[in-house]
């Protein structure tokens, strides 16, 4: 069907990203389980941290892209921005779902409960609901044009919850640990080896994230082209 346009990226680029991302993930697993030190208090369950934190950050990045791409679509009405927003929202929902799952896996042995309505968990669940609603808005809108407009509004307004999730452990008393990365993290919040493994995990997941967004954007581009062909065939049949 020709070269992919917009933000979909070439097929070879996506293959390279997938291979590189896979190799980085294998190296990351080795670092997490063989190099990162065992926490003296939490034990091996602390290793979930190397998955949970980067996954949560990737979900924030995904929704930030949705926010920017949605604004760009409303201003320019260019379908490539809508495809990017849609793809990023899908990937973001996957990542925030994994963030919730890894969070409750960590919480069970540490807090002795799978779930507690503390601020960080509650605001993250709200974030998940917002972007599930984004995808539902797209699915149930009467046509593609309205789906793009309605979902863009949800994507822009919904992003307000992202900084609320991050700052929740600062604004409200919580049993959730304080930030270990970012502007609110203390300079000595992590051991040097732990920080290095965490940063490597973020890089590995970033490659996976970029691959998934490009792959989904390419799929959306193909779907748009197929719709265009079907529309032309219908007009020709008349």
Can you tell me the mean pLDDT for 142-158? 93
What average pLDDT is seen over the chain? Answer: 87
User: What is the model's pLDDT at position 134?
Assistant: 96
Can you tell me the mean pLDDT for 70-89? 94
Q: How is domain 11-237 classified at the architecture level of CATH? A: Up-down Bundle (1.20)
On the question of pLDDT at 3 being above 50, the answer is no
15-33 pLDDT, tens digit each:
888 999 999 999 999 999 9
Most confident of 103-117, 135-149, 183-197: 135-149
User: What is the model's pLDDT at position 178?
Assistant: 74
Ranges of each domain in the chain:
11-237
On the question of pLDDT at 123 being above 80, the answer is yes
Q: What's the pTM?
A: 0.87
Query: Is residue 132 exposed (0-12), middle (13-18) or buried (19+ Cβ within 10 Å)?
Result: middle
Can you tell me the mean pLDDT for 145-160? 95
Higher pLDDT among residues 30 and 235, named by residue: 30
User: What is the model's pLDDT at position 232?
Assistant: 78
User: What is the model's pLDDT at position 52?
Assistant: 93
Show the beta-strand stretches assigned E in the chain: none
Q: What letter would DSSP give residue 179?
A: P
pLDDT > 90 fraction of the chain, expressed in percent and rounded: 55
On the question of pLDDT at 237 being above 80, the answer is no
Mark 9-41 as b/e (b = at least 16 C-beta within 10 Å): beeeebeebbeebeebeeebeebbeeebeeeee
Can you tell me the mean pLDDT for 189-210? 90
161-178 pLDDT, tens digit each:
999 999 888 888 777 777
Residue 230 and residue 236: Cα distance in Å, rounded? Answer: 10
On the question of pLDDT at 187 being above 70, the answer is no
On the question of pLDDT at 5 being above 60, the answer is no
Residue 124 and residue 160: Cα distance in Å, rounded? Answer: 12
């Amino acid at each position: 069907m020709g070269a992919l346009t917009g933000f979909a990226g070439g097929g070879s680029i996506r293959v390279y990203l997938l291979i590189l991302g896979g190799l980085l993930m294998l190296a990351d697993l080795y670092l997490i389980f063989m190099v990162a030190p065992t926490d003296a208090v939490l034990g091996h369950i602390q290793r979930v941290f190397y998955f949970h934190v980067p996954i949560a950050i990737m979900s924030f990045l995904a929704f930030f892209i949705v926010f920017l791409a949605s604004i760009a679509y409303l201003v320019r009405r260019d379908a490539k921005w809508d495809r990017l927003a849609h793809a990023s929202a899908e990937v973001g929902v996957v990542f925030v779902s994994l963030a919730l799952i890894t969070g409750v896996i960590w919480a069970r042995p540490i807090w002795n409960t799978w779930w507690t309505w503390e601020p960080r968990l509650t605001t993250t669940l709200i974030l998940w609901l917002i972007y599930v609603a984004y995808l539902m808005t797209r699915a149930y809108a009467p046509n593609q044009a309205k789906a793009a407009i309605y979902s863009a509004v949800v994507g822009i307004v919904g992003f307000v919850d992202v900084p609320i999730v991050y700052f929740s452990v600062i604004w409200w008393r919580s049993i959730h640990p304080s930030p270990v990365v970012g502007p609110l993290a203390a300079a000595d919040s992590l051991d040097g080896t732990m920080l290095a493994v965490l940063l490597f995990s973020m890089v590995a997941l970033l490659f996976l994230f970029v691959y998934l967004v490009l792959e989904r954007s390419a799929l959306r581009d193909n779907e748009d082209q197929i719709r265009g062909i079907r529309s032309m065939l219908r007009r020709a049949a008349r």
